[in-house]
Structure 1
Amino acid sequence: MVNGGFGVKNPLLATDILSAEPKMTLENEPSGLVCHICRKEFHLQRLLNRHLKCHSDVKRFLCTFCGKGFNDTFDLKRHTRIHTGVKPYKCNQCDKSFTQRCSLESHGRKVHGQSFAYAYKERRSKMYVCEDCGHSTPDAEMHFTHLKENHPHCTALSKPHDKRQFKFPDEKPLNVLKPRNR
């Protein structure tokens, strides 16, 4: 199970299936790395490698609601919100909510004239989203506490040390993991 139980690893995916697929050759051109299938350009090898998976017929992860396949858990998690109704990205100017941050930003630009300017390689602030109820917060400790108090059997809690799940400041993990006095 992956994505909090909303997805499964594809049982048909075996290493021999992957090795049987034709190897995709990479073309290194002056402008950057180019996918030989669709000619899309990339500046980083890892982005091209990730992109190449979209051309494969074999998907690594399947949605438990509808069976749709995805090559990474991030896309599966985002897709799952269609089925669960979780819309964690709320507009601060109206009552609309969205399943994806990019949809909220698009709404802000088109409806409210809000501009979201990010410098080259500048990342947006991290948002922690509860996939069970839609609660969202930019604070890892608040998210961890929310899960402990409201969803104690959540799979994310079984691995709080996983840096992909919780990005605690260096001194925080031990403080966060201690039981709260009530």
Structure 2
Amino acid sequence: MITLALDTSTPYLTLGLSWPSGDLGHAPHLERAHAERLPAEVQALFSEAGLPLRADRIVIGTGPGSYTGVRVGASYALALARVWQAELLGVSTLTALLPTDGSADGTYLPALDARRDHVYAGVYQVTKGNVEELTAPTKLPAADLDALATEHQASIRQDVQPSGLSLIRAAQSLGQPQPELALSYL
């Protein structure tokens, strides 16, 4: 099975590609140029992998993120899923901040800037590559981040480059199928 992951809700264009004999990920920092670069970057990813431009499953980061950013990725993923007749799964963008190494077991608190001294954060347990959501993504004052990490004995993952491969791993455990796909905006 070939799986494509994409997320456009952060300043990074987060892409991941997984197939039976390998995986590949890219996350160029684009700020606001996602819509302009997304199709070409997806084509380049498939080309680099030596695969035809087609996936069996698409994983989309559903936010939290900027309204426009979340919508760019979601609309592109929905269109590809329809054209390719691929399964579409959604996972929180926060899962893209989890460690890329599937064997990095532990409790993690990924966080994204939500502006005005707030963050979006959630707590996740990673065990042998499986991801479990311990607390749902929520908006909280940035000053409360350390207390939440202490409460759950979690490592904070903030200001790290997102990973499309982490999105793919999270989707295996947490993925929401298309009819229940819910997007989250800043």
TM-score scaled by structure 1? 0.25
Q: Between Structure 1 and Structure 2, whose CA radius of gyration is higher?
A: 1
The structure showing larger relative contact order (alpha-carbon pairs under 8 Å, at least 6 residues apart) is: 2
TM-score scaled by structure 2? 0.24
